Amino acid sequence: MPGFATLPYDVAHVLDTLVLVLSFALLYQRRLFGVLTIYAWQALLLAAAAAWQAYAQDAPHLYITAGIALVFKAIIIPIALHRIIVYLDIHRTIETALGVGATLTVGVALVALSILLVLPVTTASGALTRESLAAALSVVLLGLLMMITRRNAVSQVVGFMSLENGLILAAVGVKGMPLVVELSIAFSVMVAFIIFGVFFFHIRERFDTLDIHDMERFRGERR
Protein backbone atom coordinates (compact mmCIF):
# COMPACT_ATOMS: atom_id res chain seq x y z
CA MET A 1 0.00 0.00 0.00
CA PRO A 2 1.49 3.35 -0.99
CA GLY A 3 2.01 5.53 2.04
CA PHE A 4 3.41 8.98 2.60
CA ALA A 5 6.73 9.99 1.07
CA THR A 6 6.70 7.40 -1.65
CA LEU A 7 7.02 8.31 -5.28
CA PRO A 8 3.48 7.31 -6.41
CA TYR A 9 1.97 9.27 -3.57
CA ASP A 10 4.06 12.38 -4.12
CA VAL A 11 3.49 12.60 -7.84
CA ALA A 12 -0.26 11.92 -7.53
CA HIS A 13 -0.51 14.50 -4.78
CA VAL A 14 1.33 17.14 -6.81
CA LEU A 15 -0.91 16.52 -9.84
CA ASP A 16 -4.11 16.61 -7.79
CA THR A 17 -3.01 19.78 -6.07
CA LEU A 18 -2.13 21.41 -9.38
CA VAL A 19 -5.63 20.62 -10.69
CA LEU A 20 -7.00 22.27 -7.55
CA VAL A 21 -4.75 25.31 -7.95
CA LEU A 22 -5.98 25.73 -11.50
CA SER A 23 -9.54 25.69 -10.18
CA PHE A 24 -8.58 28.71 -8.11
CA ALA A 25 -7.04 30.27 -11.17
CA LEU A 26 -10.36 29.80 -12.96
CA LEU A 27 -12.08 31.64 -10.13
CA TYR A 28 -10.04 34.84 -10.42
CA GLN A 29 -9.65 34.92 -14.20
CA ARG A 30 -11.63 37.81 -15.70
CA ARG A 31 -11.01 37.28 -19.38
CA LEU A 32 -12.82 34.61 -21.37
CA PHE A 33 -9.89 33.42 -23.40
CA GLY A 34 -7.86 33.24 -20.22
CA VAL A 35 -10.55 31.05 -18.69
CA LEU A 36 -10.41 28.72 -21.68
CA THR A 37 -6.62 28.48 -21.51
CA ILE A 38 -6.69 27.64 -17.83
CA TYR A 39 -9.39 25.08 -18.42
CA ALA A 40 -7.28 23.44 -21.10
CA TRP A 41 -4.35 23.30 -18.69
CA GLN A 42 -6.53 21.80 -16.02
CA ALA A 43 -7.74 19.11 -18.40
CA LEU A 44 -4.14 18.45 -19.39
CA LEU A 45 -3.15 17.99 -15.76
CA LEU A 46 -6.17 15.76 -15.24
CA ALA A 47 -4.99 13.61 -18.13
CA ALA A 48 -1.55 13.49 -16.55
CA ALA A 49 -3.06 12.54 -13.18
CA ALA A 50 -5.13 9.79 -14.79
CA ALA A 51 -2.10 8.48 -16.64
CA TRP A 52 -0.07 8.51 -13.45
CA GLN A 53 -2.77 6.63 -11.60
CA ALA A 54 -2.88 4.13 -14.46
CA TYR A 55 0.83 3.60 -14.00
CA ALA A 56 0.76 3.59 -10.19
CA GLN A 57 -2.29 1.32 -9.85
CA ASP A 58 -1.23 -0.77 -12.82
CA ALA A 59 -4.66 -0.28 -14.37
CA PRO A 60 -4.24 0.11 -18.14
CA HIS A 61 -7.85 1.15 -18.74
CA LEU A 62 -7.09 4.44 -17.03
CA TYR A 63 -4.85 5.29 -19.96
CA ILE A 64 -8.02 5.44 -22.04
CA THR A 65 -9.50 7.87 -19.53
CA ALA A 66 -6.36 9.96 -19.79
CA GLY A 67 -6.61 9.86 -23.57
CA ILE A 68 -10.23 10.98 -23.51
CA ALA A 69 -9.37 13.82 -21.16
CA LEU A 70 -6.44 14.90 -23.33
CA VAL A 71 -8.22 14.79 -26.68
CA PHE A 72 -11.66 16.04 -25.76
CA LYS A 73 -11.15 18.29 -22.80
CA ALA A 74 -7.72 19.70 -23.33
CA ILE A 75 -7.94 20.16 -27.09
CA ILE A 76 -11.36 19.87 -28.75
CA ILE A 77 -13.61 21.60 -26.22
CA PRO A 78 -11.39 24.65 -25.61
CA ILE A 79 -10.89 25.14 -29.34
CA ALA A 80 -14.60 24.74 -30.01
CA LEU A 81 -15.52 27.20 -27.29
CA HIS A 82 -12.92 29.61 -28.61
CA ARG A 83 -14.48 29.46 -32.06
CA ILE A 84 -17.96 29.94 -30.67
CA ILE A 85 -16.86 33.01 -28.75
CA VAL A 86 -15.28 34.52 -31.83
CA TYR A 87 -18.19 33.54 -34.08
CA LEU A 88 -20.86 34.94 -31.76
CA ASP A 89 -18.79 37.92 -30.78
CA ILE A 90 -19.49 37.40 -27.08
CA HIS A 91 -18.28 39.98 -24.57
CA ARG A 92 -14.76 39.08 -23.71
CA THR A 93 -14.90 40.29 -20.13
CA ILE A 94 -16.66 38.37 -17.38
CA GLU A 95 -19.16 40.05 -15.11
CA THR A 96 -18.86 38.68 -11.61
CA ALA A 97 -21.75 38.34 -9.20
CA LEU A 98 -19.34 38.21 -6.28
CA GLY A 99 -16.01 40.02 -6.04
CA VAL A 100 -12.85 38.05 -6.81
CA GLY A 101 -11.48 38.43 -3.30
CA ALA A 102 -14.68 37.20 -1.70
CA THR A 103 -14.92 34.33 -4.18
CA LEU A 104 -11.41 33.19 -3.38
CA THR A 105 -12.12 33.36 0.35
CA VAL A 106 -15.21 31.21 -0.09
CA GLY A 107 -13.15 28.86 -2.24
CA VAL A 108 -10.55 28.44 0.52
CA ALA A 109 -13.35 27.74 3.00
CA LEU A 110 -14.75 25.09 0.66
CA VAL A 111 -11.39 23.38 0.38
CA ALA A 112 -11.11 23.36 4.16
CA LEU A 113 -14.61 21.89 4.35
CA SER A 114 -13.79 19.11 1.92
CA ILE A 115 -10.62 18.18 3.78
CA LEU A 116 -12.55 18.16 7.06
CA LEU A 117 -15.14 15.95 5.47
CA VAL A 118 -13.05 13.48 3.56
CA LEU A 119 -10.15 12.80 5.86
CA PRO A 120 -12.10 11.54 8.91
CA VAL A 121 -14.47 9.49 6.78
CA THR A 122 -11.79 7.60 4.90
CA THR A 123 -9.37 6.66 7.69
CA ALA A 124 -9.63 3.05 6.64
CA SER A 125 -8.46 3.54 3.06
CA GLY A 126 -4.99 4.31 1.68
CA ALA A 127 -3.44 7.77 1.77
CA LEU A 128 -3.42 7.95 -2.02
CA THR A 129 -7.20 7.67 -2.13
CA ARG A 130 -7.77 10.05 0.75
CA GLU A 131 -5.79 12.99 -0.52
CA SER A 132 -7.13 12.53 -4.03
CA LEU A 133 -10.68 12.47 -2.80
CA ALA A 134 -10.23 15.65 -0.79
CA ALA A 135 -8.72 17.43 -3.79
CA ALA A 136 -11.42 16.08 -6.10
CA LEU A 137 -14.25 17.18 -3.84
CA SER A 138 -12.65 20.64 -3.63
CA VAL A 139 -12.51 20.83 -7.42
CA VAL A 140 -16.18 19.86 -7.64
CA LEU A 141 -17.22 22.50 -5.13
CA LEU A 142 -15.07 25.17 -6.75
CA GLY A 143 -16.57 24.36 -10.16
CA LEU A 144 -20.02 24.82 -8.67
CA LEU A 145 -18.87 28.07 -7.06
CA MET A 146 -17.63 29.28 -10.41
CA MET A 147 -20.97 28.52 -12.00
CA ILE A 148 -22.84 30.64 -9.51
CA THR A 149 -20.50 33.58 -9.22
CA ARG A 150 -20.19 34.27 -12.95
CA ARG A 151 -22.87 35.89 -15.00
CA ASN A 152 -21.36 34.94 -18.33
CA ALA A 153 -22.72 31.82 -19.95
CA VAL A 154 -19.39 30.59 -21.31
CA SER A 155 -17.75 30.76 -17.91
CA GLN A 156 -20.68 28.87 -16.46
CA VAL A 157 -20.10 26.10 -18.97
CA VAL A 158 -16.44 26.08 -18.13
CA GLY A 159 -17.35 25.89 -14.46
CA PHE A 160 -19.56 22.91 -15.16
CA MET A 161 -16.82 21.11 -17.04
CA SER A 162 -14.29 21.93 -14.36
CA LEU A 163 -16.72 20.37 -11.89
CA GLU A 164 -16.77 17.31 -14.08
CA ASN A 165 -12.97 17.26 -14.04
CA GLY A 166 -13.25 16.93 -10.29
CA LEU A 167 -15.52 13.93 -10.69
CA ILE A 168 -13.04 12.23 -13.03
CA LEU A 169 -10.28 13.03 -10.59
CA ALA A 170 -12.20 11.28 -7.84
CA ALA A 171 -12.99 8.36 -10.13
CA VAL A 172 -9.39 7.73 -11.17
CA GLY A 173 -8.12 8.06 -7.61
CA VAL A 174 -10.21 5.13 -6.42
CA LYS A 175 -8.90 1.68 -7.13
CA GLY A 176 -10.98 -0.64 -9.27
CA MET A 177 -13.35 1.97 -10.71
CA PRO A 178 -14.59 0.46 -13.96
CA LEU A 179 -14.09 2.29 -17.23
CA VAL A 180 -17.82 2.44 -17.83
CA VAL A 181 -18.27 5.15 -15.27
CA GLU A 182 -15.63 7.35 -16.79
CA LEU A 183 -16.83 6.81 -20.31
CA SER A 184 -20.36 7.69 -19.34
CA ILE A 185 -19.20 10.81 -17.57
CA ALA A 186 -17.15 11.82 -20.59
CA PHE A 187 -20.08 11.38 -22.88
CA SER A 188 -22.43 13.22 -20.57
CA VAL A 189 -20.05 16.13 -20.75
CA MET A 190 -20.07 15.92 -24.51
CA VAL A 191 -23.84 16.07 -24.50
CA ALA A 192 -23.81 18.96 -22.05
CA PHE A 193 -21.28 20.73 -24.25
CA ILE A 194 -23.50 20.36 -27.31
CA ILE A 195 -26.58 21.53 -25.41
CA PHE A 196 -24.74 24.52 -24.05
CA GLY A 197 -23.50 25.29 -27.55
CA VAL A 198 -27.08 25.33 -28.80
CA PHE A 199 -28.01 27.55 -25.89
CA PHE A 200 -25.33 30.05 -26.83
CA PHE A 201 -26.73 30.45 -30.27
CA HIS A 202 -30.14 31.13 -28.87
CA ILE A 203 -29.62 33.27 -25.87
CA ARG A 204 -26.18 34.80 -26.39
CA GLU A 205 -24.99 36.72 -23.38
CA ARG A 206 -28.48 37.21 -21.92
CA PHE A 207 -28.12 33.82 -20.28
CA ASP A 208 -28.25 35.25 -16.79
CA THR A 209 -31.72 36.72 -17.05
CA LEU A 210 -33.33 34.08 -19.29
CA ASP A 211 -36.11 36.53 -19.49
CA ILE A 212 -39.13 34.97 -17.81
CA HIS A 213 -41.16 38.16 -18.31
CA ASP A 214 -40.91 37.90 -22.07
CA MET A 215 -42.21 34.36 -21.93
CA GLU A 216 -45.09 35.37 -19.68
CA ARG A 217 -46.05 38.21 -21.96
CA PHE A 218 -45.84 35.79 -24.86
CA ARG A 219 -48.20 33.39 -23.08
CA GLY A 220 -50.58 36.20 -22.25
CA GLU A 221 -50.24 35.89 -18.48
CA ARG A 222 -50.45 38.75 -16.06
CA ARG A 223 -48.71 38.53 -12.74
Partner 1 sequence: MLTALLPVLLAYGAASLSGIIFGRRAQVVVYGLSALAAAATALAAARFLAAGAAPESALLPLGLPWIGAHFRIDSLSAFFLFVIGLAATLISVYALDYGKHDAEAGRVLPFYPAFLAGMTLVPIAADAFSFLVCWEGMSVASWLLVLATHRQAETRNAAFLYLVMASLGVGALLLAFGLLAGGQGDYSFAAMHGAALDRWRSGLCFVLILIGTGSKAGMVPLHVWLPPAHASAPSHVSALMSGVMTKVALYGFIRLAFDLAGPAPWWWGAVVLLLGGVTALLGVLYAVMQHDLKRLLAYHTVENIGIVVIGLGLALAFRADGLALLGALALAAALLHVFNHAMFKSLLFLGSGAVLVATHERDMEHLGGLIHPMPVTAFVFLIGAVAISALLPFNGFVSEWLTFQAIINGALLPQWLLKFAVPVVGAMLALAAALAAVCFVKVFGTVFLGRARRPAAAEAKEVSALMLAPMAGFAAICTLVGVVPQSILGLVRPVAASLIPGGPGIELSDWPWLAPLGPDHSSYSGIVILLAVTFLTALSVLVIHRFASDRLRRSAPWDCGFPDPRPETQYTASSFAQPIRRIFGSIAFAATERIDMPGPGETRPAAIEVSLSDPVWEGIYAPTARLVGLLSERLNLLQFQTIRRYLSLMFAALVLLLLIVAVSQ
Which residue ranges make up the site for partner 1 (CB under 8 A)? 97, 110, 113-114, 116-117, 120-121, 141, 144-145, 147-148, 151, 156, 207-210, 212
Instruction: State the nearest-atom distance from the C-beta of 20 to partner 1, in Å.
Output: 17
If the CB atoms of residues 21 and 210 are measured against partner 1, the closer one turns out to be 210
Instruction: State the nearest-atom distance from the C-beta of 73 to partner 1, in Å.
Output: 21
If the CB atoms of residues 10 and 95 are measured against partner 1, the closer one turns out to be 95
Instruction: State the nearest-atom distance from the C-beta of 213 to partner 1, in Å.
Output: 9
Instruction: State the nearest-atom distance from the C-beta of 222 to partner 1, in Å.
Output: 14
Helix (H, G, I), strand (E, B) or coil at 211: coil
Q: What Cα–Cα distance (Å) separates residue 204 from each residue in 84, 151, 154, 178, 187?
A: 10, 12, 9, 38, 24
Helix (H, G, I), strand (E, B) or coil at 96: strand
Phi, psi of 96 (to 5 degrees): -105, 145
Closest CA to 108 of 141, 74, 148: 141
If the CB atoms of residues 79 and 215 are measured against partner 1, the closer one turns out to be 215
Helices and strands (DSSP H and E) totals, the chain:
9, 0
If the CB atoms of residues 10 and 211 are measured against partner 1, the closer one turns out to be 211
